Amino acid sequence: MATKKATRKSSKQPAKRPASKSGARAAAARPKTPKNEAISQLTADHARVKKMFKQYDRLAKGDAGDREKQQLATMICAELTAHATAEEEIFYTAARNAIDKPDLIDEADVEHASAKDLIAQIEGSSPADDHYDAKVKVLGEYIDHHVQEEEGEMFPKVRKAKLDTVRLGEQIAERKAQIMQKKGMA
């Protein structure tokens, strides 16, 4: 009798599809985003630089040596320069033509100009100079604000505009590599 009850209970429940098949179908339906797709690449750059700023903050708080701080600040500045240049020349140009929000691009350009000014100050000084750590910290704060606006406002609008972000990403990656090589960081 116990088997009849168990059979009746299980027959009352609807049959379920195996999770692996439905998960595989969903994954197959979603197109894969290439690593060098523009928005994915720019977002990865943002995350990488954010980690570097956190690392610099730990060095500054821990009274690390000037050489170690200078090396990391140099890397941060090189990454930001390559990112900003490629973004301005390639991504912003395409975005300006594709989205109906030129003010977003204008603000991003102004934010880049402010960041470039601080980058020049950092590159032209050393950790032994007054305000060096403060300049790196403020640069990080500028970048954090800039990233929030790009990722929260600009990138979604660019996605909706259906730009060829894969092609843009390839161009951005190539341009960044050229800049990093020129800076001796490749």
Tallying the residues shown for the chain, one arrives at 186
The CATH architecture of the domain made up of 34-182 is Up-down Bundle (1.20)
Q: What is the pLDDT of residues 37-68, one digit of tens each?
A: 999 999 999 999 999 999 999 999 997 899 99
In eight-state DSSP terms, residue 100 is S
- pTM confidence score: 0.79
- Domain boundaries, given as residue ranges, for the chain: 34-182
Quick: pLDDT tens for 17-40. Answer: 444 444 444 444 445 666 789 999
